[in-house]
Structure formats: structure tokens, C-alpha cells
Amino acid sequence: MKTLQIVTKEIVDLHDFFTEWFNGTVERDQLEPRFLSRLDENVVFIPPEGHIMTSDMLKGGFDRGYGSNKDFRIQIRDVTIRHEIGDLVMVTYTEWQIGAALSVEKKNARVSSVLMKMTDPVTWLHIQETWLPDALRAAGPFDF
């Protein structure tokens, strides 16, 4: 399978899991095998608000959020490989959300940059999200 197909599947599958997790439609014991095990022990996640989160912080947030948002949905778009260096891949994609309970905008969108290591399974090393400008978000379809 080509690298773009692998990373696209990885990104979509992980975000599908996030939807299931926050909807409460997946068993709680799936957090480790379907999400946490894919993160490098030194992963850094920077959400659109700009603070730095570690894997322990992500785990805590997910533990607290299980089943908290029955209306939450995500759609991934525009997956693009920006750089490939050895087994490292820098990818960008847009993430569109509906029903995001903790976001000011219940319909929101962000562009994400991810550094991945092409292991089996793929390892997430660094994630940074930035809000899409209001005009782009407003123009984007939220019919998913």
C-alpha cells in the first residue's frame, strides 16, 4: 500500500475511534489498543488553543470524555503528505467537527499537521492543530 493510503487510513480510522469514544459506542477497554498505543511515549499534541499536551494529559482527557458527547462527529478531508524523510512522514489534513461540546463553535474546522513514524502500526510523534479561518469554516459543508 502506498504511503498516502496508509496515512489516510490511519488518520480516518483514529478519528472514527474518537467519534465512537465520545459517543460512548465503543468499549472503554479500547482506549489503549486503538489510540494510546499509537502515540510515541514523548508525543506532543498542540490543540488550536495553543497549549502543549503530553500523552498522560491526553489519556486523562479521554478518560474523562468517554460517552460525554452523543452528537459528536468528525470528517477528515484533504490529507496531504508534505515531507517524507526515511521512515518519518509529515502530513497535513483538515478535520471538520459537528456537535463539539467543548468548542465555542459547535461546527468547527481545523487544519492539522502530524509527524508520523511509518512503523506497524503507525506511530504518532507530534500533532498540531490550528483553527481554520471563519470564512473557510463557514463555507465548508457540514453535511456528514
pLDDT, tens digit (0-9, with 9 covering 90-100), for 105-128: 778 999 999 999 999 999 999 999
Whether pLDDT at 14 is above 80: yes
End-to-end CA distance of the chain: give it in Å, rounded: 27
Order the strands of the 123-131 sheet from edge to edge: 39-46, 123-131, 107-117, 88-98, 73-85
Mean pLDDT of 34-58: 96
Query: Look-up: residue for cell 468528525?
Result: 74
Whether pLDDT at 53 is above 80: yes
Residue 99 lies in a domain: yes
**CATH number of the structural domain spanning residue 47:** 3.10.450.50
Query: Look-up: residue for cell 460517552?
Result: 67
Whether pLDDT at 102 is above 80: no
Residue 11 lies in a domain: yes
Domain enclosing residue 97, as ranges: 3-139
Query: Look-up: residue for cell 489510540?
Result: 35
Percent of the chain with pLDDT over 90: 89
CA-to-CA distance for 143 and 81, rounded, in angstroms?
26
Residue 123 near residue 116, CB atoms below 8 Å: yes
Mean pLDDT of 119-143: 94
Residue 144 lies in a domain: no
pLDDT (0 to 100) of residue 106: 76
CA-to-CA distance for 137 and 32, rounded, in angstroms?
32
Residue 18 lies in a domain: yes
In the numeric block, which cell numbers belong to residue 38? 499509537
Residue 12 lies in a domain: yes
pLDDT (0 to 100) of residue 1: 76
Residue 102 lies in a domain: yes
Residue 50 lies in a domain: yes
CA-to-CA distance for 115 and 87, rounded, in angstroms?
10
Number of domain units in the chain: 1
CA-to-CA distance for 122 and 115, rounded, in angstroms?
10
Residue 40 near residue 117, CB atoms below 8 Å: yes
Q: Tell me the CB-side half-sphere exposure of residue 9, using CA atoms within 13 A.
A: 10
Mean pLDDT of 6-19: 98
